[in-house]
Amino acid sequence: MNHSRLSLLLALVALTGAAQAADSVPLQIELPKPLFAGTPRPISLPNLEKPRTGKRPDLMVPAGTVNLSKGKTVTSSDSLPVIGELTFINDGDKSGTDGTYVELGPTPQWIQIDLGAPAKVAAVAIWHFHSQARVYHDVVVQVSNDATFKTGVTTIFNNDDDDSSKLGKGKDQAYIENYEGKLLDGKGATGRYVRLSSNGNTSDELNHYCEVEVHGSLVK
Amino acid sequence: MFAPALRRWIPLVLLVALALGLRTYELDRRPLHADEANQAIKTGELLEHGRYAFDPRDHHGPTLYYAALPLAWLRGETTLATLSATTVRLVPALAGTCGVLLLFFLARPLGFGPAFLAAALLAVAPASVYYSRYFIQETLLVSFTLAAALAAQRWWQNARPAWALAAGAALGLMQATKASAPVFVLCALAAALLVARCRPATTHLGRDLTLILGTALGVAALFYSSFGTHAAGLRDAVATYTFTSARATGDSGHEKPWWYYAALFGWEKNGGLVFQQLAFSALALTGALLAFVTRQKFLRVAAVYTLLVFFTLSFPPYKTPWHTVHLVPGLAVLAAGTLALIRWRTLAVVATTSLIFLQLTQTHLGAFLRAADARNPYAYVHSSPDVLKIRTLANAALAARPGGAIRIISEEYWPIPWYLRTLPAGSVGYWATPPADCDGALILASTAQASAVRERLHGDYRETFLGLRPGFLCVVFTPAPPAP
């Protein structure tokens, strides 16, 4: 008897479940439409990220590491920068005020620093235009002994997640520019040339550099 | 080789062609400003559903939307999804081109040469070209103002009722374009009455004035009532002045110093880019002074009108750069008047050519090369080129997750609704604050909302950035692909 009741109960549960499954439909959720708004207000403050509380975590580098890039020859995919000169990139001025940054044209552009001799790169510090909250797209940093970057290329940073700049898909995170610059671990990559690429930014299609520092030591 | 009449008019035809070319070249290149997108969406709704109701709070007059309809039909666009940026921007482009021709005919009392020069200076003026490529009401208002002035001038001279009718129609179109129209009408009337000091040719002044006023009111009422389908629009056409005056005197976020408009015609270096109109301004200022030395009445009317408009626009704290277009026709006439007084032909030719060249280089910089650049004084709170990527991102997200939701969670999100207008109905939602459910095929959140959105997401999401406009960043969340 109990066995029969249990069977009946199970059958009823199964039937109920089957009935519910037969009645199930995709959940339709109505999404709200956009609300019309007036002319956006201009942002009067630079909207910079809050300064980090405390010091930026130290990047440990081998003793004897020096700034190898200061005053070295800089070339670019854009031979006629829109504003500024390529020498601004390694002149030591990171302020980002007018007259301290170089502006390269739209679409992917690169700058390349010739260290003069092969070096072990411990760190690369980059300051794009940082007087406003913006993110530079497809930032790729590479090291090579080949000036044309066709062979022997080591990529130390790549946040081009869709390979739109055709330098390979990167997994590094995009970041908001600020006065501290972006400090990258060179991981001892070896090469004479350091190339930095970008593909516009969240404010316009142009590419900017205030300063680039390549820290390391020459290969003996 | 050409008949004298043709030799006279061919340069004008070429000038109009130049004006048209500057105003229509690659109209879809610059991303839409938030205001343009707002109005383009409203136009799309009118196009697709035949519905329009004047909004007195945040939108200007209806002519802009209705003017886009015949262009959309001609280009085979019948829905919001098919409506293009080029189509909507053709409205101010064509209006601006007509404005060049209208100014030529209006300035004829100066002589063919100065009138042509004035039209040429308007044709190449940086602000006029820039905002002739901008889907807002300002260029239409300028052109309707010029049309009203021309028709009124002709009526004053020859008393024909047809010109009175035309003046009334133009005044009505002005009012149906923007609530600030009476400002320009009053400035023009004041300038004419202060300087002209002569009676109109008509012997039926009362009849003609009634015709002008009646036509103006009729035309304005036609548009504000959405061609008789929305009677409340007539009430709202009056109510809009409550909001307009509050905006002009209150805390709108667009407060600027009194010299703001003057500075736009001066010299400015911003982030390495130089925007200047010193030569044009100097010639216009000289023309204003000469207007009261010479016996040229039209020049004096232009000087007084431009001065009155300048003070009227400069007095309220609320200022936006597109208002400068109202100053350009008067300044162009004054500058042309100065050039026309140069007796030495070689110097006149060199001065004119140099001025046109300088203006064209500034127009090239402002309207084409750096049209959306934050350093461009005309690109006011302008959308970043980044917004052009949103449609591709959304399409890719929906392809990866069919039926998924696109969520835009931001205190500001225009012009994004324009760029996502082609997505399937019901697939995109817009929130000012994070809803309980933030998951979706793609979520775009302002950086201010991103942390709250992140806490409400389930599963792994990749994050990247997209700029809405300079200084306003959004975080783009897309579900991470499953691990191989």
**pLDDT for res B20:** 98
Q: Which residues of B touch A28 (CB under 8 A)?
A: 426
- Same domain? For B348 and B442 the reply is no
Q: B220 with B131, same domain? A: yes
Quick check: is A153 in a domain? yes
Residue A31 within a domain: no
> In this structure, what token pair is assigned to residue A19?
């009935």
Q: Report the alpha-carbon distance of residue B383 to residue B402 in Å, rounded.
A: 29
Q: Between chains, do B417 and A34 touch, taking CB under 8 Å as contact?
A: yes
* Amino acid residing at A92: G
Chain A residues inside the 8 Å CB shell of B275 = none
Asked if B121 and B228 sit in the same domain, the reply is: yes
Q: Both B440 and B365 in a single domain?
A: no
Beta strand B442-446 with B406-409 is: parallel
pLDDT in 10s for each residue of chain A, 220 residues: 455 555 555 555 555 544 444 454 444 455 566 766 667 766 543 333 444 556 677 787 888 888 999 999 999 999 899 899 999 999 988 888 888 899 999 989 999 999 999 999 999 999 999 888 899 999 999 999 999 999 999 999 999 988 999 999 999 999 999 888 899 999 889 999 999 999 999 999 999 999 999 999 998 7
Would residue A186 count as lying in a domain? Answer: yes
**Do residues A18 and B415 make contact, with C-beta atoms less than 8 angstroms apart?**
no
In a domain, A113, yes or no: yes
In a domain, A100, yes or no: yes
Instruction: Please check whether residue A34 lies inside any domain of the structure.
Output: no
User: Considering the domain boundaries, does residue B354 fall inside one?
Assistant: yes
Is A214 part of a structural domain of the chain? yes
- Boundary residue ending a domain (B314, B336, B369): B369
Domain total in chain A: 1
Contact list, B465 vs chain A (CB under 8 Å): 135, 174, 176, 202
* More confident site: A32 or B446: B446
Q: 3-class DSSP state for residue B407?
A: strand
Q: Using CB atoms and an 8 Å cut-off, which of residues 46-65 of chain B contact chain A? A: 55, 58-59
Which chain B residue lies closest to A34 (C-alpha atoms)? B430
Q: Kindly state the DSSP code that residue B385 receives in the 8-state scheme.
A: G
pTM for the model:
0.90
Give a yes or no: residue B285 inside a domain: yes
Domain span at residue A125 reads 66-218
Residues 235-294 of B with CB under 8 A from A: 252-254, 269, 271-273
Spatial separation of the C-alpha atoms in residues B90 and B96, rounded to whole Å: 10
- Domain annotation covers residue B222: yes
Our count of domains for chain B comes to 2
Query: Is B390 in the same domain as B355?
Result: no
Least confident of A41-50, B227-236, B303-312, B361-370: A41-50
B484 within domain boundaries: no
Distance CA B80, CA B70 (A): 14
Chain A CB within 8 Å of residue B380 CB: yes
Whether the CB-CB separation of B136 and B95 falls below 8 Å is answered with: no
Claim to verify: residue B82 and residue B188 sit in the same structural domain: yes
Instruction: Sort out which chain B residues have CB atoms less than 8 A from A205's CB and list them.
Output: 385
Q: Are B211 and B263 members of one domain?
A: yes
pLDDT at B50 over 80: yes
> Is residue B339 one of the residues assigned to a domain?
yes
Question: Does residue A164 lie in a domain region?
Answer: yes
Identify the pLDDT of residue B128.
98
**Minimum mean pLDDT range among B67-71, B106-110, B249-253:** B249-253
Of A46, A99, A204, the CB nearest to B385: A204
Residues B237 and B293 in one domain: yes
Residue B53 domain-assigned (yes or no): yes
Average pLDDT over residues B44-65: 90
Task: Give the pLDDT confidence score for residue A97 in this predicted structure.
Answer: 83
Q: Are residues B442 and B307 in the same domain?
A: no
Where in the sequence is the domain holding B206, given as residue range(s)?
4-369
Of B372, B431, B465, the CB nearest to A32: B431
Residue B243 has a pLDDT of 75
In-domain check, residue B375: no
Does B101 fall in a domain? yes
Partner residue opposite B381 with nearest CB, options A26, A41, A47:
A41
The domain that holds A120 is classified in CATH as: 2.60.120.260
Q: Is A48 on the interface with B (CB under 8 A)?
A: no
Are B358 and B389 in the same domain? no
For a pLDDT cut of 70, what percent of chain B falls above it?
98
* Residues B302 and B356 reside in one and the same domain: yes
CA A128/CA A28 separation, integer angstroms = 45
The nearest CA of chain A is from the CA of B372 a distance in Å of 7
